Structure 1
Amino acid sequence: AILHQLRKKHNLVIGERTAEQVKMHIGNAFIETKEGEKVKMMEVKGRNFQTGLPQVIQITEHDMAEAIQKPLKFILEGIKEVLAQTPPELAADIVDKGIVLSGGSALLINLDRYISYHINVASFVVEEPLFCVIRGIGMAVENFDSFKDAIK
């Protein structure tokens, strides 16, 4: 999404690594700029799509928020689908305890606030979101006998 947005809006071609750096530095799912607060900006280097020459531009967190709206809506729709199919007892637990976010996307600034705002259920990012899934798998393997019925 970031690659497409920069090419469409600024005629700038960048690589995957640069797009990831942009996302990590100024990507924000839910921007609330307070009075007097500076908008985050970043210099992005790439190649001009039309001229083929190197180009440097300044982009803001607002540019990135616009760029990631489509993937965010896709994530949100997936969450809504899962919640719609959730048994009532589990749905009550989700309302009480919230949604836990893990994995690389959970590192996107304010993703938890974005999700909470749109589905009216608390959500939060787990500690060390990049490693929690593999740790859980490790615990399941170590305690396989306790989990084997859940795997069937």
Structure 2
Amino acid sequence: VDIGGGTTDVAIISLGGIVASTSVKCAGNRMDAAIVDYIKKTFNLVVGDKMAEGIKIQVGSAVSLEEELSMVIKGRDYITGLPRATEVRTNEIVRAIGRELREIVKAIKDALQETPPELAADIIDHGILMTGGSSLLRHFPELVFRRTGVKAVLAKDPLYCVVKGTGIALEHLEAYKKSIIAKR
């Protein structure tokens, strides 16, 4: 599962080939937009995309927390137009991005449901590997496990592993040619 900025790509891979896959235009940027909307509606405070991404990184989570994190956010008051600050907490952000998280989990479930039954044991044994910058959202693998029943783990270097893998494939193009060239 590669959760980037613009898309979430899900692929079930077996013997070097893609068995099932799906892609949705729901990822980090949509989460950021949802945070911007939530802050505006809840606090009458206008914040930019950078602030929203910072909120997601600093206090965001895929699941509610008993011990919430909080941070002071700064923006422009929607009514007066004046600069203002307020505090936002983790569970508010969980609510703000809930729709986006559900859409991503649905894409994962859709790919799992397309998978041939003979691969189910492998999926249970090996789990789901999560990559991409947005996979770093606090407790995202836990949410995926709760919703699918399949363990999920972050890749060793989630921000760069897709790029590194592409580089390896290009270095060994002949070996990977059948896997990376789209069939028509």
Q: TM-score range by the shorter chain?
A: over 0.9
Residue 124 (1) aligns with residue 153 (2): yes
Taking the aligned partners of 1:151 and 1:59, their CA distance within structure 2 comes to 44
Given residue 31 of structure 1, which amino acid in structure 2 is its aligned partner?
Answer: S
Q: 2:138 aligns with which of 109, 113, 134?
A: 109
Q: 84-93 vs 41-50, which deviates more?
A: 84-93
**Cα shift at 1:115:** 0.5
Cα deviation code 1:64-105 (max 9, x no counterpart): 111110110010111111111112233321111100000011
DSSP-derived class of the 1:93 partner:
helix
Deviation beyond 4 Å, 4+ runs, structure 1? none
Given residue 4 of structure 1, which amino acid in structure 2 is its aligned partner?
Answer: D
Work out whether residues 46 and 77 of structure 2, in 8 Å CA contact, stay in contact via their aligned partners in 1.
yes
Give the helix-richer structure, 1 or 2: 1
Alignment of 1:54-93 (within 5 A): 54-93=83-122
- The aligned residue for residue 10 of structure 1 is 43
Cα deviation code 1:33-85 (max 9, x no counterpart): 2xxxx421100000111111111001110111111101100101111111111
Question: Sequence identity, in percent?
Answer: 37
- Structure 2's unaligned 5+ residue stretches are 1-33
**Cα shift at 1:128:** 1.3
Alignment of 1:13-32 (within 5 A): 13-32=46-65
DSSP-derived class of the 1:31 partner:
coil
Query: TM-score under structure 1 normalisation?
Result: 0.93
- The aligned residue for residue 79 of structure 2 is 50
- Structure 1's unaligned 5+ residue stretches are none
**Cα shift at 1:131:** 0.3
Give the strand-richer structure, 1 or 2: 2
DSSP-derived class of the 1:62 partner:
helix
Taking the aligned partners of 1:2 and 1:93, their CA distance within structure 2 comes to 37
Query: TM-score under structure 2 normalisation?
Result: 0.78
